[in-house]
Structure 1
Amino acid sequence: MIPYVRQLEFEYGRVDQVSPLIRRVIANNPGPFTYLGTGTYIVGRGEVAVIDPGPDLPEHLEAILAATAGERIVAIVITHHHSDHSPLAAPLKARTGATVYGCAVAAPPEADPDEVRLEAEADMAFAPDVSTCAGGGIAGPGWTLEAIPTPGHTSNHICYALAEENALFTGDHVMGWSTTVITPPDGDMTDYMESLERIRGRGFSTLWPTHGPPVREVAPFLDAYVAHRRARETQILQALAAGPARIADLVPRLYADVDPRLHPAAARSMLAHMIDLVRRGKIRTEGAPQPGGEYRLA
């Protein structure tokens, strides 16, 4: 079982000092994709970085500016382009002149109108001043951020390590309150598992997700996060050992304990697993993996 952490004391718009170098302001945008809301992090003192400014809410913009009154925002740092993370970057840049860091995303394929929506809308207008797609560093007085590419949740997801506290801002790559949504085509399970292993190998002391409280018991949490995905993969392989099947056949069996209303979402997650398993030669299907394709053991 994943040892979720879900309790958090906060007020919307209030700035809280959560570590020696980190402050947090939470936007009032709670929901099924954002949990309690977007947690915007302010790193440093005097000249500061703002990580994931969040949705374009005027009151949240004013809360960030109030939290940094008398200081200078020099960097606006984005983990990925979803609408609960990046849209406020442009208004914040307009008010402060700060440089925007992040990884732009390629235009996605045309959306399927029948596809179940599992995530916040994409902010396709996001355009950083400085690309962190290949990594890189961002520094200010007393703080140093390292951009670590972590594709999987999205193709352009970046985590940021704070060297001085051996901490990692994980965006939606790792969340304490929930597992992370991986939905093709922009989400990719193969990339995601590789990114998880990359983070697990770094030995961080604290993870700061954009939604929810920090993860402080990092090693066992990441172990459980990985084990959860591998267990689902094993279930799929065991089910296919009984014969070929389609995702629509497998979801009611493998997600029997899940509210049937969530089965369409489960099917998208299973598709991500199927794509990964096909790539690794564990299973096969005719043509490219599709939601309605038939799958069998290789």
Structure 2
Amino acid sequence: MDETPAPPPPPTGQVIVLEPLVARVLAPNPSPFTYTGTQTHLVGTADLAVIDPGPADAAHHQALLRAIAGRPVTAIVVTHHHRDHSPGTRALQAATGAPIVGAAPVFLADDGPRADAAFDTDYSPDRVLIEGDTVAGEGWTLAAIATPGHTGNHLAFALPETGALFSGDHVMGWSTSIVSPPDGDMGDYMASLEKLLAREDRVYYPGHGEAVERPQRLVRGLLGHRRQREGQILRLLADVPRGIAAMVEKMYVGLDPRLLPAAERSVLAHLIDLERRGRVRRDGAVWVAA
């Protein structure tokens, strides 16, 4: 995928205060798909929301309990059901008694090898949130914004008191998001980016990577990037029918080989979207211009 060079890894397990109402704790799960690791965000002061408790990792769980420091947890909030975001909900709920709220559980059969993080099949929220639903505590409110695309159930959460948005994996601070069918949908992903572009959020706090200080600029860039990829596909197919691997070879020159399966999934997502719009069609193992 397209990514920025990795800076020195930030410290895992430490509380980093981002603004008076927001802190984060980095999980020790770096990888080609998670960058320096999953970032769990804590919202509030007297009482808290914990957004995306991360993987089922004992060290990260203990770090979160230290960060919570005995304060009441109003809600454990989940943006989506991938294994680097939601498994930590179970231990945190057992420790705090807080309800698990947010994204719906999604269980889908796949049509090919997965390249993104595997589903957390045990994820079971106490309350599923939809567009406009809120959870609140003393001095803070989190409003759900439906942002499907990376996954079918993905939610972002706005913090209107400060103008911040917790963007999960829909918009990240280091790379474009993987869109892997059938759960990932490129048409939905683009529509969700357009939805965020129409907002006036001050800053994004993503699940991976640093805070995004000029979010509208980044979202415009992500939309442009995806349209550029779509144009590449259409130009390649205008020359000759091609399979996905052959397209990826032309489109992602110099990509880390570990990320090639993810690139193939994103190209497939583009092709499915183009097929729906009547721009391409399948012919056996290859795709052709319509």
- Pairwise CA RMSD of aligned residues? 2.0
Deviates further, 262-271 or 192-201 = 262-271
Pair 1:60-2:57 in alignment: no
- The residue number in structure 1 matching 2:285 is 293
Q: For residue 148 of structure 1, what is the aligned residue in structure 2?
A: 145
Assess if the C-alpha contact under 8 Å between 2:3 and 2:175 holds in 1.
no
Q: Partners in 2 of 1:209 and 1:7 — Cα distance?
A: 16
Is 1:159 matched with 2:156? Answer: yes
Shift of residue 9 of structure 1?
7.5
SS at match of 2:239: coil
Aligned pairs (5 A) from 1:36-75: 36-75=36-75
The number of aligned residues is 289
Bigger shift: residues 237-246 or 253-262:
253-262
Q: 1:222 to 1:8 in 2, by over 3 A?
A: farther
Q: Where in structure 1 are there 5+ consecutive unaligned residues?
A: 287-291
Please give the secondary structure, in 2, of the residue aligned with 1:241.
helix
Instruction: Supply the distance in 2 between the matched residues of 1:266 and 1:57 (Cα, whole angstroms).
Output: 28
What are the equivalent positions in structure 2 for 1:276-291 lying under 5 Å apart?
A: 276-286=273-283
**CA spacing shift, 1:296–1:75, aligned 2, 3 Å:** same
Q: Percent identity?
A: 48
Moved over 6 A (4+): none
1:93 aligned partner: 93
Query: SS of 1:245's equivalent?
Result: coil
Go from structure 1 to structure 2 and tell me whether the alpha carbon gap of 1:146 and 1:261 turns closer, same or farther (over 3 Å shift). closer
In structure 1, C-alpha distance between the alignment counterparts of 2:154 and 2:87, rounded to whole Å:
15
C-alpha displacement at 1:13, in angstroms?
Answer: 1.1
Equivalent position of 1:289 in the other structure? none
TM-score by length of 2: 0.93
Shift of 1:54: 0.6
- 1:8 CA drift (Å): 7.3
1:167-246, aligned counterparts within 5 Å? 167-246=164-243
| CA–CA distance in structure 1, aligned partners of residues 61 and 74 of structure 2 | 15
Gaps of 5+ in 2: none
Match of 2:116 in 1: 119
How far the C-alpha of 1:6 sits from its partner, in A, is 5.6
SS of 2:187's partner is helix
Question: Is 1:271 matched with 2:271?
Answer: no
Shift in Å, 1:120: 1.7
Q: Is 2:13–2:27's contact at 8 Å kept on the other side of the alignment?
A: yes
Query: In structure 2, how many angstroms separate the alpha carbons of the residues matched to 1:201 and 1:20?
Result: 26
Contact 1:8 1:212 in 2 (8 A): no
Letter in 1 for 2:201: F
> Within 2, Cα distance between the matches of 1:87 and 1:3?
26
CA distance in 1, matches of 2:274, 2:197: 22
- Give the deviation of 1:251 after TM superposition: 2.3
Q: TM-score, normalised by structure 1?
A: 0.90
